[in-house]
Amino acid sequence: MRRERHGGATRGGRFVRRFAGVLGTAAVFGLLATVALAPQVNPATIEAAVAANDAADSFRSAAQSVRVGGEASATAVSSESYVASTGPETLIAGGTNLDWAKLVMVEGGWPLTDENVTFMMRWMRQENGADNWWNRNNPLNNGMGSGGGSGLGSYATLADAAYYAAANIGSGRYPEVEAALERGDSADATAQAIWASPWASSHYGYGTHWSSRPYEVIEAPASAWGR
């Protein structure tokens, strides 16, 4: 009985080992079968996929970055004001009565509004006439710095005349005129201020000798500008 149990055990052990061997063999064959059934990847296909991936990475890099050369520099954004872009040299080069009117505004630091320029053009026309506005290089018949206290003096150039006109208006003797120019919103209001001021003894007839018709733009001789 012991031997039978022993023999049975032996047979059972061999059976287990034999069964395990069969299972192992089946597993190996199964693995081989799986490998055999799996599609074979061509090395050239792998290389092509890698190259395509590298190209995509390069494209993404190029799309997300910008290369700036060592000699490149940032472009400055211009923020010039109207006054700065219409500076004295530009106006002097223009040479017209309109340029001179603007030059007075620039010299005085007053805003270059249409109303201010219109007032100046009308004022100049009342003093010397449009066709000879540069008479004695003194468009407003200004006495300051011209050598003629009555306003009959002259300046070396129209540029000098613009400087002294602005200096006289801003001297404190004509506060209402200067305030109106600071506002720059009404040619008529500024005209009324100059009528009431001591600039002209006639006071321009308090408006009766003042024309508001459209002004003409006329160029002065180059010599009047010192050219």
Q: What is the DSSP string of 180-211?
A: HHHH---HHHHHHHHHHSSS-TTGGGGGTT--
What helix, strand, coil percent values describe the chain, rounded to 5?
Answer: 65, 0, 35
Task: Give the DSSP letter of residue 76.
Answer: P
Average pLDDT over residues 14-40: 41
pTM of the model as a whole: 0.64
Q: What per-residue confidence (pLDDT) applies to 54? A: 54
Average pLDDT over residues 67-81: 37
- Gap between the Cα atoms of 66 and 127, Å rounded: 63
Burial call 185-195: b when 16+ CB within 10 Å, e when fewer: ebbeebbbbbb
Comparison of pLDDT for 14 and 139, the residue scoring more:
139
Rounded to a whole number, what is the distance in angstroms from the first to the last CA of the chain? 142
Q: Which amino acid is at 56?
A: A
Angle at 111 between CA 108 and CA 176, to 5 degrees: 65
Comparison of pLDDT for 114 and 74, the residue scoring more:
114
Residues 215, 216, 222, 226: what is their CA dihedral angle, to the nearest 10 degrees?
0
The answer for residues whose C-beta is within 8 angstroms of residue 128's C-beta and 6 or more apart is 134, 135, 138, 139, 141
Task: Give the DSSP letter of residue 74.
Answer: P
Average pLDDT over residues 67-74: 38
SS3 state of residue 219: strand
Comparison of pLDDT for 52 and 154, the residue scoring more:
154
Angle at 111 between CA 108 and CA 114, to 5 degrees: 120
> What's the chain's average pLDDT?
76
Average pLDDT over residues 215-225: 97
Span of 33-47, 94-108, 151-165, 211-225 with lowest mean pLDDT? 33-47
Assign 150 a pLDDT band (cuts: 50, 70, 90): confident
Question: Which is nearest to 224 in space by CA: 170, 151, 142, 159?
Answer: 159
Tokens of 207: 């408006």
Question: Which is nearest to 100 in space by CA: 34, 166, 53?
Answer: 166
Average pLDDT over residues 51-63: 48
User: Which residue has tokens 């008529």?
Assistant: 188
Span of 19-23, 176-180, 197-201 with lowest mean pLDDT? 19-23
Q: What per-residue confidence (pLDDT) applies to 44? A: 55
